[in-house]
């Protein structure tokens, strides 16, 4: 296995194209809990082009009924990215200064559970601009959100065969 580069530009191009609409190749989870992490996984896939089909602990999407918990679940995606030892994207916890475009932000609105995922689409000076689904947005300043906790996830690369 080797670590390949994560294509940040492809990830944010995908985010720009699909921020305000839904790719018909993926189920829209808006009506059953939200589509934010599904959208973020799609962006990550565009930048990595590698899924991990490991049962339970992998990261993949075949259909609405055949996907890993990490494809659509906020905490599950975090756990996968931070702990992944197999195929697919790998990441570490970072801070706002060190994250780049294509990296992930997760928010907690109740100070207990992280429940919203976003992708960084632009960084300029002290501004971090994001895109997301459920509350569809592109180019929104992360500081315009009202949240209790925030975590930054920096994509280190993509493990491939």
SS (H, E, C) the chain: CEEECCCHHHHHHHHHHHCCCCCCCCCCCHHHCCCHHHHHHHHHHHHHCCCECCCCCCECEEECCEECHHHHCHHHHHHHHHHCCCCEEEEEEECCCCCCCCCEEEEECCCCCEEEEEEEEEEECCEEEEEECCCCEEEEEHHHCCCCEEEEEEEEEEEEC
pLDDT in tens, 92-129: 999 999 999 999 999 999 999 999 999 999 998 889 99
Q: Return the bridge partners of 63, or none.
A: 66
Give me the residue label for tokens 């490991």. Answer: 54
Closest Cα to residue 16, out of 123, 121, 161? Answer: 121
pLDDT in tens, 3-36: 999 999 999 999 999 999 999 999 999 999 999 9
Average pLDDT of the segment spanning 85-93: 97
pLDDT > 90: what percent of the chain?
95
Asked if residue 149 has pLDDT above 90, the reply is yes
């Amino acid at each position: 296995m080797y670590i390949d580069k994560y294509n940040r530009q492809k990830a944010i191009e995908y985010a720009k194209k699909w921020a305000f609409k839904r790719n018909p190749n993926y189920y829209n989870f808006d009506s059953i809990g939200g589509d934010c992490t599904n959208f973020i996984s799609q962006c990550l896939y565009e930048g990595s082009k590698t899924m991990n089909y490991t049962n339970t602990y992998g990261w993949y999407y075949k259909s609405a009924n055949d996907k890993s918990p990490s494809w659509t679940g906020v905490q599950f995606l975090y756990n996968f990215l931070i702990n992944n030892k197999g195929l697919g994207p790998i990441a570490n916890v970072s801070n706002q200064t060190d994250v780049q475009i294509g990296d992930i932000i997760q928010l907690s609105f109740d100070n207990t559970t992280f429940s919203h995922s976003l992708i960084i689409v632009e960084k300029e000076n002290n501004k971090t601009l994001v895109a997301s689904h459920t509350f569809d947005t592109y180019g929104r300043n992360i500081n315009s959100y009202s949240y209790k906790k925030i975590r930054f996830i920096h994509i280190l690369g993509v493990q491939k065969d």
